[in-house]
Amino acid sequence: MKYQIILTKQARKDLKSLEKYQQEKLVSDYSTIQNESIDVVNIKSLGNKLFEIKTDNLRSLFMYKEGRIIVIGVIFIKKTQKTPKQYMEKALRILTNYKD
């Protein structure tokens, strides 16, 4: 099933702050989701309707929106086993207040 990917202002800022090769990896996964299927990439549920796209050590935290839309709130480089709470809280705050 194909989805549309929307990046919040924060996610666009996070993406720009990454190295070029990291940006390319994320954009590749986003393109796969949009052109093929979400089942092809590594997705994990974090609870509270929050999910993460795992791209090597990069994480994109998102929520599903009505229809087949994914809104990405935060992108970061994961350095620990568990997803840090600060990123989860930030993503929830951004995504629950997100308006088109």
Domain ranges of the chain: 4-96
CA angle 68, 37, 78 (to 5 degrees): 90
Closest to 75 (Cα-Cα) out of 58, 93, 57: 58
Q: How do the pLDDT tens digits run along the chain, 100 residues long? A: 789 999 999 999 999 999 999 999 999 999 999 999 888 899 999 999 999 999 999 999 999 998 899 999 999 999 988 899 999 999 999 999 888 7
Tell me, what's the pLDDT at 1?
A: 75
Cα atoms found within 13 Å of the Cα of residue 23, Cβ hemisphere only: 10
Spatial contact of 63 and 3, defined as CB atoms under 8 Å apart? no
Tokens (6 digits) for 89: 């809280």
| Whole-model pTM over 0.95 | no
- The yes/no answer on whether domain 4-96 falls in CATH 3.30.2310.20 is yes
